[in-house]
Amino acid sequence: MSKNLIEVEGLKKYFNVGGGNVLKAVNDISFSIAEGETLGLVGESGCGKSTAGRTILRLYEPTAGSVKFNGTDISKLPPKKMKAMRRDMQMIFQDPYASLNPRFTVTDIIGEALDIHNMAGTRAERKKRVEELLDMVGLNPDHATRYPHEFSGGQRQRIGIARALAVNPKFIICDEPISALDVSIQAQVVNLLKDLQDRLGLTYLFIAHDLSMVKHISDRVAVMYLGRIVELAESEELYANPMHPYTKTLLSAIPIPDPEVEANKKRILLEDDANGPIQSAKDGASSGGAFDLENSELVEVSKGHWVSMPKK
């Protein structure tokens, strides 16, 4: 693998949720992403994936920790330098409709991204660039004057992708880009993202709530649970040899069409009673074991395969 483009070290994002309570949405995560690599970040809804993504891009100020982009610690950059850095780091969102201004034409939506970074040039150049981007994401350049509601969900997500690509980023956080789409078009969007990665040399953090969605695009996968990473490994290794009980739970939730396989699947959650590990970890009542994350650390069990284990 080539050098690391992204290095996240001890990143935390806490939210004050009133009454003196603090929600540790991201609680000390560390990982790196090599240039041209896709790291999948998976975990159930509410585990802190989007907060992690936003904190990495410094859309949220981190509570602690650092993020290095190409060797530069962006967590300490002053606003002006941060703005310049943002060009290299873009985000694609889950809901392509909510993230596209309904009163803007496609030209305005994509052009706005260019304007922010003074990359639009003349009117003619701006138009040409928008058309080029639409073509790149598989949309008809003649539709540049249309509004978001005139497109299907998959097409809208392509507009979101074109907008992210407009400023020639190196790194894109794809935050559940296919979760809101029909199953029939999910693969098309994943394939588009893969093609674009190959053509443009992009690096991705690909967020999803289920492992089946990241399988085909990720080189490595990090599994997140309650604000922490509980397992990280190369995709093949993670699917073949999941070690953390939570990863096994996530894997068992993937629908497998073969009825025989389905019948044999272990449903880890159901094996335990109501006081099982996940339950008690959420209640904060657990002590010891794989879900006592407070007293656990990531251990490299085989080359590049990290698993959260109780501290010795």
Ligand X SMILES: Nc1ncnc2c1ncn2[C@@H]1O[C@H](COP(=O)(O)OP(=O)(O)O)[C@@H](O)[C@H]1O
- Separation CA 301–CA 238 (nearest Å): 12
> Which residue stretches of 68-152 are H helix?
79-86, 106-116, 123-136
Tokens at residue 144, please? Answer: 């540049």
Q: Which amino acid is at 228?
A: R
- Separation CA 250–CA 171 (nearest Å): 27
The binder of 223, among ligand X, Mg ion, none, by C-beta within 5 to 8 A per type, is none
Measured between its terminal Cα atoms, the distance across the chain in Å is 32
Candidate ranges 46-54, 131-139, 185-193, 259-267; the one touching ligand X (CB under 6 A): 46-54
At closest approach, how far in Å is the CB of 260 from ligand X? 33
Q: Which is nearer to ligand X, 69 or 225 (by Cβ)?
A: 225
At closest approach, how far in Å is the CB of 49 from Mg ion? 5
| Interface pattern 38-77 for Mg ion (x via CB under 5 A) | ------------x---------------------------
Q: Which is nearer to Mg ion, 95 or 292 (by Cβ)?
A: 95
> Is 14 a binder of ligand X (CB under 6 A)?
no
CA 48 to chain CA centroid, nearest Å: 10
Helix (H) / strand (E) element for 92: namely: strand 89-92
> Is 25 a binder of ligand X (CB under 6 A)?
yes
Side by side, which strands form the sheet with 305-310? Answer: 89-92, 171-175, 203-208, 38-42, 220-225, 228-234, 305-310, 296-302
At closest approach, how far in Å is the CB of 194 from ligand X? 23
> Is 23 a binder of ligand X (CB under 6 A)?
yes
At closest approach, how far in Å is the CB of 91 from Mg ion? 11
Candidate ranges 45-53, 105-113, 155-163, 195-203; the one touching ligand X (CB under 6 A): 45-53
Tokens at residue 274, please? Answer: 């109501």
Q: Which is nearer to ligand X, 43 or 65 (by Cβ)?
A: 43
Per DSSP, the residues of 27-46 read: EEEEEEEETT-EEEEE--TT
> Is 51 a binder of ligand X (CB under 6 A)?
yes
Dmax over CA atoms of the chain, in Å, equals 66
At closest approach, how far in Å is the CB of 48 from ligand X? 4
Phi, psi of 43 (to 5 degrees): 170, 160
Candidate ranges 49-57, 68-76, 136-144, 145-153; the one touching ligand X (CB under 6 A): 49-57
Which residues, 6 or more positions from 146, have their beta carbon under 8 angstroms from its beta carbon?
105, 106
> Is 242 a binder of ligand X (CB under 6 A)?
no
The binder of 122, among Mg ion, ligand X, none, by C-beta within 5 to 8 A per type, is none
Tokens at residue 90, please? Answer: 């873009």
> Is 45 a binder of ligand X (CB under 6 A)?
yes
The binder of 104, among Mg ion, ligand X, none, by C-beta within 5 to 8 A per type, is none
- Separation CA 206–CA 183 (nearest Å): 17
- Number of residues near ligand X (by CB under 6 A): 12
The binder of 82, among Mg ion, ligand X, none, by C-beta within 5 to 8 A per type, is none
Q: Across the strands, what pairs with 8?
A: 31, 67
User: Which residues are near Mg ion by CB under 5 A?
Assistant: 50
User: Which residues are near ligand X by CB under 6 A?
Assistant: 15, 17, 23, 25, 43, 45-51
